[in-house]
């Protein structure tokens, strides 16, 4: 009897445990998807609640498994998910201006999509879910219903013949009137397990976006009546493809997000769950409690207590203290490398190699891998969804602390939407967030092209004189420089004073760059080069380019003719060409030649040709443009030929440079009258006569005859010029 009771208990317990609605999740572009897999097909309702939506299965005894929902999605759209203890309704708390739509995928699978924006008109899911918060009546044991005995005579008993031969001998139908009951075999347990596994795999595929449902089958293509009957046979094979309700992407084509590109395993989320490493009490109470349990027998630290204390420091944002503890007591612990790297990154330092190459992982390691880099390298695999999800799960203090740096890296890499998502993850918390977050807002406005709004926020931060005032003033100066404006000299002086007070090396670099650029455009270039750039040689290229384009020409000449800093060969070629052009236009051709000498490019050859022309060196200019094509090269070639008095070739070069006016001018100087076409008819007649009477040097006449011909030609030219002048009005007459 005991064995029978135990078997019944296990059977009923196993049956009850199977009555669970599994909820899977997936993050997609523009929406979040939930897939609910029922134990068996049943009715359901979705409607509005006071804080979002409610989903109710019409089988009250079923439970919901939501344990893995937020492992795959951030909490920007779906901010909370819980089961109402009173009504048993699955409550969906929204953190955005979104709406939900439910779609039956197949019997037993419901897809709920949370999309941005207002719900479409007439959506059936916008009405309030009735009794979403009402207490469910207690389920008491009811009396077991037992079938009562059937009254006699209600259904006549069939007459069953003794045997089929007797029935046939009586001449009756060959088929007996009584059939034995149909035995339905019980389902195979293996088939049930396969069905459950298939449902789970389908729900995972739908949530991940690998399987997409189609609302209706496409209509069959109608043949064109104008085509002959044989035309449908010519349709390509791809268009005769049978329609399907499932579009499945092979799982093998998806990247394995549990491994890095080099095949190393990604660090799991449970080793990076900073939010779970504190209990919500006052930091002093948590630290005191953890410290008191640290030492065990013989005053040696207990391993679990030590790791817990280190993690608590990281949860509170004390990176240096966490690193000191782990290096003092747990240097050889398996978690030492991860905790030490987290301590460095929590304090805002970069360069930790523990998370190297993990920016494409689907765990929180992707976020820490990005924070460990100086910038997001272009072209590398980046799992932005995992980064935003991990950042949203951080404690609020760490979000405010690490958010500006992460947002700045996203903006520098061109991912403005991810930078905005970082800002939104902080903004969901109540209360002021500090100047760092205000700076993030200003930079987001700059990235969106909202210059005026960004400058107002920056000026407010500067006026508050908080911790971010220096960075705000530096950004304000840089913004004005990028817009082509000259910053206020008083702002540059104020920023220089702030720069000298800063002790952070990373912050000092950005401030020094803004101060040096401000000094260059406000007339103090010498101090920018000989004081600030001397401490940071990386500033020299930007300062030289800015000085050549927007600085005082006298400052440029004074510094470029005796350049401070590294040798010219260490500067980038484009920067040297910009400075060379600035010197040339200011009249310092020799200095321009020295700055451009050694740069190998077409632009350098053209510039050196212009410098040679300024120095009246036509042969050097021709050598520089030899083999070059283009209008600019032809113009320089024409000027060089003019300088060398090769006028016919110069005229041809001007024509090749598409400059007919210069070509006419050079032909006139070369006395090539045939090619000239003046607008004055009288002048044209004179030129024609000159072309017809020009001596060609081949006459066999004697000296007296040649002199006579020259005299006659001169008289004709004088008469032609007189006619041209007579046809023109006298100035002032």
Q: What is the pLDDT of residue 144?
A: 45
Measured CA angle at 245 (ends 244, 248), to 5 deg: 85
Q: What is the per-residue pLDDT for 609?
A: 92
Q: Helix, strand or coil for residue 52?
A: strand
Token pair of 224 as six digits: 């064109």
Predicted pLDDT of residue 696: 52
CA distances from 395 to 8, 274, 279, 308 (A): 48, 7, 11, 16
Mean pLDDT highest for which of 26-35, 203-212, 270-279?
270-279
* pLDDT grade for 678, boundaries at 50, 70 and 90: low
Most confident of 39-43, 111-115, 436-440, 466-470: 111-115
| 459 pLDDT higher than 70 | yes
CA dihedral in degrees (271, 272, 274, 275; nearest 10)? -90
Of the listed ranges 363-367, 438-442, 620-624, the one predicted with least confidence:
438-442
* Residues 257, 269: Cα–Cα separation, whole Å: 13
User: Contact at 8 Å (CB) between 558 and 529?
Assistant: no
Report yes or no: 37 and 108 within 8 Å, Cβ to Cβ: yes
Integer Cα distance of 87 and 79 in angstroms: 20
Percent of the chain whose pLDDT exceeds 90: 16
What whole-number distance in Å separates Cα of residue 283 and Cα of residue 480? 43
pLDDT of amino acid 579: 92
Phi first, then psi: what are they for 677, rounded to 5°?
-140, 75
Q: What's the chain's average pLDDT? A: 77
pTM (two decimals): 0.50
Smallest CA-to-CA distance from 381 within 271, 272, 266, 274 is with 266
CA 664 to chain centre: 56
Q: Which residues pair with 21 in a beta bridge?
A: 64
Per-residue confidence (pLDDT) for residue 569, from 0 to 100: 87
Using alpha carbons, select from 600, 604, 610, 665 the residue that is nearest to residue 637: 610
pLDDT digits (tens, 9 = 90+) for 385-444: 899 999 888 988 888 888 888 888 888 888 888 888 888 787 665 555 566 677 777 777
Q: What is the predicted pLDDT for the residue at 44?
A: 87
Q: Is the dihedral of CA 483, 488, 493, 499 positive or negative?
A: negative
Give the Cα separation of 469 and 463 in Å (integer). Answer: 8
User: What pLDDT is attached to residue 117?
Assistant: 87
In this structure, what token pair is assigned to residue 104? 């039956």
Q: Which residue has the higher pLDDT, 156 or 371?
A: 371
CA distances in angstroms from 70 to 37, 85, 670, listed in the order given: 17, 20, 85
Other Cβ atoms less than 10 A from the Cβ of 345: the count is 24
Q: Please give the structure tokens belonging to residue 1.
A: 């009897």
Residue 562 DSSP code = S
How far is 203 from 21, CA to CA, in rounded Å?
11
Task: Please report the pLDDT score of residue 677 as a whole number.
Answer: 54
Most confident of 155-169, 445-459, 581-595: 581-595
Mean pLDDT of 449-459: 79
Closest CA to 389 of 436, 424, 441: 424
pLDDT band at 309 (very low <50, low <70, confident <90, very high): very high
Does residue 584 surpass a pLDDT of 80? yes
Contact 614, 620 (CB under 8 A): no
The answer to whether the beta carbons of residues 391 and 403 sit under 8 Å apart is yes
Residue found under tokens 């007339």: 523
Q: Is 492 strand, coil or helix?
A: helix
Which span out of 121-130, 229-238, 269-278 was modeled with the highest average pLDDT? 269-278
CATH architecture of 16-129+193-215+247-254: Sandwich (2.60)
Beta strands in 58-126 (DSSP E): 63-65, 78-83, 90-94, 98-106, 109-116
pLDDT band at 155 (very low <50, low <70, confident <90, very high): very low
Report the pLDDT value the prediction gives residue 240, as an integer from 0 to 100: 42
3-state secondary structure of 369: helix
pLDDT of residue 435: 65
Of the candidate ranges 65-69, 313-317, 359-363, 663-667, the one whose mean pLDDT is the lowest:
663-667
Average pLDDT over residues 11-28: 68
Cβ(519)–Cβ(492) below 8 Å: yes
Residue 9 confidence (pLDDT): 42
- pLDDT at res. 99: 92
Q: HEC string of 178-234?
A: CCCCCCCCCCCHHHHHHHHHHHHHHHHHHHHCCEEECCCCCCCCCCCCCCCCCHHHH
Helix or strand holding residue 385 (H, E)? helix 384-392
> Which of 407-411, 454-458, 588-592 shows the lowest mean pLDDT across its residues?
454-458
Asked whether the predicted pLDDT for residue 690 surpasses 60, the reply is: no
At residue 166 the predicted structure's pLDDT band, cuts being 50, 70 and 90, is low
Q: What confidence score (pLDDT) does residue 464 get?
A: 76
pLDDT > 60? residue 342: yes
What are the CA-CA distances from residue 256 to residues 198, 272, 376, 381 (Å)?
A: 21, 20, 21, 12
pLDDT at 719 exceeding the cut of 80: no
**Looking at residues 466-474, what average pLDDT do you find?**
80
What pLDDT does 572 receive? 92
| 155, 159, 160, 164 alpha-carbon torsion, rounded to 10° | -140
Please tell me the number of Cα atoms within 13 Å of 461 on its side-chain side: 27
249 close to 255: Cβ distance less than 8 angstroms: no
Is residue 312's pLDDT more than 90? yes
Which of 658-662, 675-679, 689-693 shows the highest mean pLDDT? 658-662
Q: Which residue has the tokens 């912050």?
A: 507
Q: What percent of the chain shows pLDDT beyond 70?
A: 73
Collect all residues with Cβ–Cβ distance below 8 Å to 53 and sequence separation of at least 6: 46, 47, 91, 92, 94, 100, 125, 129
Angle at 682 between CA 676 and CA 688, to 5 degrees: 45
- Phi and psi angles of residue 24, each rounded to the nearest 5 degrees, phi first: -110, 160
Q: Please return the burial class of 620, using the count of CB atoms within 10 Å of its CB with bins 0-12, 13-18 and 19+.
A: middle
pLDDT digits (tens, 9 = 90+) for 87-135: 888 999 988 889 999 988 888 889 999 998 888 888 889 888 876 654 3
Assign 172 a pLDDT band (cuts: 50, 70, 90).
Answer: very low
Lowest mean pLDDT among 191-200, 240-249, 682-691: 240-249
Confidence category of residue 231, pLDDT binned at 50, 70, 90: very low
- Per the CB < 8 A criterion, the answer to whether 697 and 711 are in contact is no
Q: Bigger pLDDT: 207 or 243?
A: 207
> In terms of DSSP bridges, do strands 63-65 and 20-28 run parallel, antiparallel, or are they unpaired?
parallel
**310, pLDDT greater than 90:** yes
């Amino acid at each position: 009897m005991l064995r029978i009771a135990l078997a019944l208990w296990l059977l009923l317990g196993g049956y009850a445990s199977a009555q669970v609605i599994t909820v899977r999740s997936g993050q997609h572009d523009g929406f979040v998807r939930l897939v609910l897999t029922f134990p068996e097909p049943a009715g359901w309702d979705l409607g509005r609640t006071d804080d979002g939506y409610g989903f109710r299965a019409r089988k009250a005894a079923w439970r919901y498994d939501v344990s893995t929902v937020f492992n795959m999605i951030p909490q920007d759209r779906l901010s909370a998910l819980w089961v109402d203890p009173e009504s048993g309704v699955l409550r969906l708390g929204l953190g955005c201006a979104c709406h939900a739509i439910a779609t039956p995928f197949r019997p037993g699978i419901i897809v709920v999509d949370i999309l941005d924006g207002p719900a479409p008109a007439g959506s059936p899911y916008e009405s309030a879910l009735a009794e979403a918060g009402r207490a469910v009546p207690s389920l008491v044991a009811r009396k077991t219903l037992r079938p009562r005995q059937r009254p006699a005579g209600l259904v006549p008993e069939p007459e069953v013949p003794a045997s089929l031969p007797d029935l046939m001998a009586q001449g009756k139908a060959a088929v007996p009137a009584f059939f034995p009951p149909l035995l339905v075999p019980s389902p195979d347990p293996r088939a049930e397990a396969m069905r459950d596994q298939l449902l789970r795999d389908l729900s995972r595929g739908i949530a991940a976006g690998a399987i997409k449902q189609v609302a209706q089958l496409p209509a069959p293509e109608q043949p064109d009546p104008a085509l002959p009957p044989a035309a449908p046979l010519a349709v390509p094979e791809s268009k005769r493809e049978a329609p399907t309700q499932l579009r499945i992407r092979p799982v093998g084509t998806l990247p394995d997000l549990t491994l890095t590109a080099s095949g190393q395993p990604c660090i799991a989320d449970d080793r990076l769950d900073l939010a779970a490493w504190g209990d919500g009490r006052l930091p002093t109470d948590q630290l005191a409690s953890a410290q008191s349990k640290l030492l065990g027998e013989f005053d040696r630290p207990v391993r679990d207590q030590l790791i817990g204390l280190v993690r608590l420091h990281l949860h509170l944002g004390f990176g240096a203290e966490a690193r000191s503890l782990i290096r003092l007591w747990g240097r050889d612990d398996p978690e030492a490398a991860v905790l030490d790297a987290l301590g460095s990154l929590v304090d805002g330092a970069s360069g930790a190699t523990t998370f190297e190459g993990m920016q494409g992982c689907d765990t929180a390691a992707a976020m820490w891998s990005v924070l460990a880099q100086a910038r997001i390298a272009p072209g590398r695999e980046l799992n932005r969804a995992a980064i935003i999800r991990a950042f949203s799960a951080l404690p609020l203090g760490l979000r405010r602390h690490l958010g500006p740096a992460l947002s700045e890296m996203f903006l520098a890499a061109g991912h403005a939407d991810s930078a905005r998502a970082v800002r939104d993850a902080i903004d969901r918390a109540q209360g002021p967030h500090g100047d760092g977050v205000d700076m993030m807002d200003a930079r987001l406005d700059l990235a969106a092209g909202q210059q005026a709004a960004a400058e107002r926020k920056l000026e407010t931060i500067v006026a508050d004189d908080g911790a971010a005032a220096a960075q705000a003033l530096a950004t304000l100066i840089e913004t004005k420089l990028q817009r082509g404006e000259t910053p206020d000299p008083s702002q540059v002086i104020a920023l220089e004073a702030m720069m000298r007070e800063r002790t952070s090396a990373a912050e000092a670099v950005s401030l020094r760059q803004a101060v040096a650029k401000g000094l260059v455009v406000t007339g103090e270039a010498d101090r920018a080069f000989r004081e600030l750039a001397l401490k940071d040689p990386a500033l020299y290229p930007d300062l030289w380019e800015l000085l050549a384009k927007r600085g005082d020409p006298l400052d440029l000449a004074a510094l470029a003719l005796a350049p401070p800093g590294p040798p010219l060969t260490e500067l980038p070629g484009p920067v040297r060409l910009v400075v060379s052009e600035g010197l040339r236009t200011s009249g310092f051709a020799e200095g321009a030649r020295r700055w451009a000498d050694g740069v190998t490019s077409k632009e350098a050859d053209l510039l050196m040709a212009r410098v040679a022309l300024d120095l009246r060196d036509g042969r050097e200019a021709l050598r520089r443009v030899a083999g070059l094509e283009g209008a600019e090269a032809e113009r320089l070639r024409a000027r060089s030929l003019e300088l060398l008095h090769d006028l016919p070739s110069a005229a041809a070069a001007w024509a090749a440079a598409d400059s007919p006016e210069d070509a006419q001018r050079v032909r006139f100087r070369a006395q090539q009258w045939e090619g000239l076409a003046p607008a004055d008819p009288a002048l044209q007649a004179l030129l024609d006569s000159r072309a017809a009477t020009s001596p060609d040097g081949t006459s066999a006449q004697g000296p007296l005859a040649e002199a006579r011909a020259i005299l006659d030609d001169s008289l004709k030219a004088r008469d032609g010029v007189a006619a041209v002048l007579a046809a023109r009005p006298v100035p002032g007459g």
